[in-house]
Structure 1
Amino acid sequence: MSQMMQQKGTAWIGTSNIVVPGNKNTFPPAFQAKSRLHYYSSLFNSVEVNSTFYKTPLPSTTRKWADDVGENFSFTIKLSKAITHSKELEGDFGLLEPFMTAAAGLGEKKGSLLIQFPGKITLDYFDQVESILYEVEENDPDGAWRKAVEFRHDRWYTGETIELLNHFNATMVLQDIPKSSNMNAVETISRLKAGFVYLRFHGPNGDYRDSYTNLFLEEKAALIARWLAAGKDVFAYFNNTIGNAFDNARQLRTMVDGGPAENL
């Protein structure tokens, strides 16, 4: 795909968690004494950190992450499951303060905050989701984090949800889990005011496996090019980590940058 439109936004493309082939012994010599993150950052300009979903890191840890990558790199972090996956969404909001304090350790390398709800959370939980977004906003008074909300139930894809997300200046994640996929609902983006787009690729069958075709990636690269030309930043992460996340992310990066659509 040729680069036909001038990019005004930035494309942040990578994998869900650090995915690089081989081990340190197979890394290029210049990286063998470095961390996996440092090597990864030479290949991609962003990573979606899912480990924060399970455990809140120390601020010293996130500062180390930030120090381990170059200037033009961003971290997306996934909000703790103690908030988004708690019973009836009645989690302890007191956990948000230490989480956001740790997240602040990333400094200028903040990307976006991924807030993912499970499939059992239907539109019936609208008020609880609103409360979570409110508490996140309260714990981010400077608005340092861009917020991306991923739903796993298709009843959420309504005008009411768009209004909710716009109120909190959040975007809706476009994702491809079959039962709740909204990956092709690109018109939704024009109705959201957050100013950025967030794509999550969970695998062609939504099971974190396998590889996307060149045709699929070319179609997404063309969409991304349009959003970038319109001045929107785009975050795109491949979560098919049991499959071909690494190569798919590299392919998409090459296509967005105007390179040939070839298998890498």
Structure 2
Amino acid sequence: MDVRIGTAGWSFPRALEMFPAEGTGLERYAAVFDCVEINSSFYRPHQRKTYERWAASTPENFRFAVKAPRTITHERRLAETGDLMARFLDETSGLGAKRGPLLIQLPSSLGFETGVVERFLADWRRRTQAATMLEPRHSTWFAPEAEALLASFDVARVAADPAIAPQAAEPGGSPSLVYRRWHGSPVIYESPYPPKVLDGLAARLAVEAGTADTWCVFDNTKFGMATSDALGLLERLGRRPG
């Protein structure tokens, strides 16, 4: 079973004893978890040498998921983004073999338009074969046509919590990758998940890992709940931190 569990960013409550006392924040985080989702790349670019430094400071089996810039998704809204794609892919290639899935999170106002999406994904796939997942937040993305188009380009659809529609809670698109992003519920980015919910999540992940590369990232980071939820999930899957 191969399930990667981590958080959005590598901040964590400093009082937790399972994290080493020495090292950078990333080094200490990577001593406990085997993956992280880089969200800061959504807001600003990072130099290739920065990604190289991050990769060099983590264990061999560690992986980084990276969020695509908002200039691609929110400003140009997937249209005429070739120059921005090229820059993002070149920068993140500094992670080398530790670059994991690339995340394309869309604004809630961006509905599914076949022509726009097909042109975007065709250009994306001309430039990279990296594992890719898309997190739509508009109801039009959960129709069969959208699902089929994502699958045709081997792009997975994120399974999100909270979900804007029942289908949004389940993985979609390409079956080669399961990527669950849990943002906290009932208060997004803040609330921890109850033990029974984590029990159910662990059971689902154990099954999904039998057929796909499987990730679960907690984004309820505001009060450190992402760390405790991720640690609780590790425990439920019978894995010791580190």
Q: TM-score, normalised by structure 2?
A: 0.90
Tell me which residue corresponds to 1:114. 103
Residues 17 and 50, structure 1, Cα contact 8 Å, conserved in 2: yes
Tell me which residue corresponds to 2:12. 20
Which deviates more from structure 2 when the two are superposed, residues 64-73 or residues 89-98? 89-98
How do 1:17-96 and structure 2 match up within 5 A? 17-22=9-14, 31-32=21-22, 34-90=23-79, 92-96=81-85
Tell me which residue corresponds to 2:154. 169
Tell me which residue corresponds to 1:222. 203
1:78-117 deviations in whole A, cap 9, x for unaligned?
0011001115543542111111011111111111000110
Residues 52 and 80, structure 1, Cα contact 8 Å, conserved in 2: yes
> How far 1:160 moved relative to its partner?
0.7
Tell me which residue corresponds to 1:3. none
Instruction: Quote the Cα distance in structure 1 between the aligned partners of 2:18 and 2:147.
Output: 46
Tell me which residue corresponds to 2:221. 241
1:127-171 deviations in whole A, cap 9, x for unaligned?
22222222221221xx2x100010111221111111111111011
Tell me which residue corresponds to 1:4. none
Q: Give, as a single letter, the amino acid of the residue that structure 2 aligns with 1:161.
A: A
Match of 2:181 among 162, 187, 200: 200
Residues 218 and 255, structure 1, Cα contact 8 Å, conserved in 2: yes
Instruction: Quote the Cα distance in structure 1 between the aligned partners of 2:197 and 2:231.
Output: 14
Residues 178 and 206, structure 1, Cα contact 8 Å, conserved in 2: no
Residue identity (%): 28
Instruction: Quote the Cα distance in structure 1 between the aligned partners of 2:218 and 2:26.
Output: 16
Q: Give, as a single letter, the amino acid of the residue that structure 2 aligns with 1:130.
A: E
1:11-63 deviations in whole A, cap 9, x for unaligned?
1110011121128xx8789542x210000001110000001111121111101
Residues 176 and 182, structure 1, Cα contact 8 Å, conserved in 2: no
Match of 1:137 among 105, 109, 125: 125
Q: TM-score, normalised by structure 1?
A: 0.83
Q: Give, as a single letter, the amino acid of the residue that structure 2 aligns with 1:203.
A: G
CA separation of 1:200 and 1:88: change in aligned 2, threshold 3 A:
closer
Secondary structure at 1:217's aligned position in 2?
helix
Q: Give, as a single letter, the amino acid of the residue that structure 1 aligns with 2:150.
A: L
- 1:212 paired with 2:201, answer no
Instruction: Quote the Cα distance in structure 2 between the aligned partners of 1:134 and 1:211.
Output: 38
- Structure 1: unaligned runs, 5 residues or longer: 1-6, 260-264
Tell me which residue corresponds to 2:235. 254
Q: Give, as a single letter, the amino acid of the residue that structure 2 aligns with 1:94.
A: D
Which deviates more from structure 2 when the two are superposed, residues 174-183 or residues 114-123? 174-183
> How far 1:193 moved relative to its partner?
3.7
Instruction: Quote the Cα distance in structure 1 between the aligned partners of 2:40 and 2:133.
Output: 17
> How far 1:176 moved relative to its partner?
1.7
Instruction: Quote the Cα distance in structure 2 between the aligned partners of 1:103 and 1:136.
Output: 14
Instruction: Quote the Cα distance in structure 2 between the aligned partners of 1:182 and 1:238.
Output: 19
Residues 18 and 32, structure 2, Cα contact 8 Å, conserved in 1: no
- Structure 2: unaligned runs, 5 residues or longer: none
Instruction: Quote the Cα distance in structure 1 between the aligned partners of 2:19 and 2:168.
Output: 39
